[in-house]
Amino acid sequence: MDQWLSVLDDLLVRQLPADADVHHVDLRVSEDFWDCQTRDEIYEPRCAEFEADRDRFAQAITIRYGSPQPKDLMPYVSGNSPHDEPGSLLFDYLAGWFCEVDVWQVGDRGIIVEVGHYDKELPLQLMLVVGDIGDGRTTVL
């Protein structure tokens, strides 16, 4: 957990890349699930492990920064994203994986920790994503 918090600390102060406006680090990556015969046996327990790690890390972030706010990403998923909304680049990026996320706000940065699974054959990812959600004013999620 301390190593993951150190990664988060670094991402919060690191300049965002111009081409993506987000930092994305996979804290854990599972094996892939190409083998149909073992997928059902392996997927559920592995997913439970990743969710438990996500919950522990989320608790540590909450202790540091307070409770997260839920963010509905459906407008971004459906292609009707409000591009003038603070954080729109971050939320556009996340909509590739999720319909809703919890967002912790630290200054003008948003922190998201989720278990991603882009497609049924692909690995699970414990994702830490940090991006800009500010516009110089207080951001309301």
Domain-wise residue ranges, the chain: 2-13+22-132
Question: What average pLDDT is seen over the chain?
Answer: 88
Residue 79's region, left for phi above 0, alpha for psi from -120 to 50, else beta, is left
Report pTM: 0.88
Q: Which residue intervals of 14-141 are DSSP H helices?
A: 36-65, 74-77, 88-94
Is the pLDDT at 115 greater than 80, yes or no? yes
Mean pLDDT for 42-53 is 92
Encoded tokens for 17: 């890349």
pLDDT-derived band at 42, boundaries 50, 70, 90: confident
- For residue 133, give Cα distances in angstroms to 48, 55, 138: 30, 23, 10
| pLDDT on residue 124 | 92
pLDDT-derived band at 135, boundaries 50, 70, 90: low
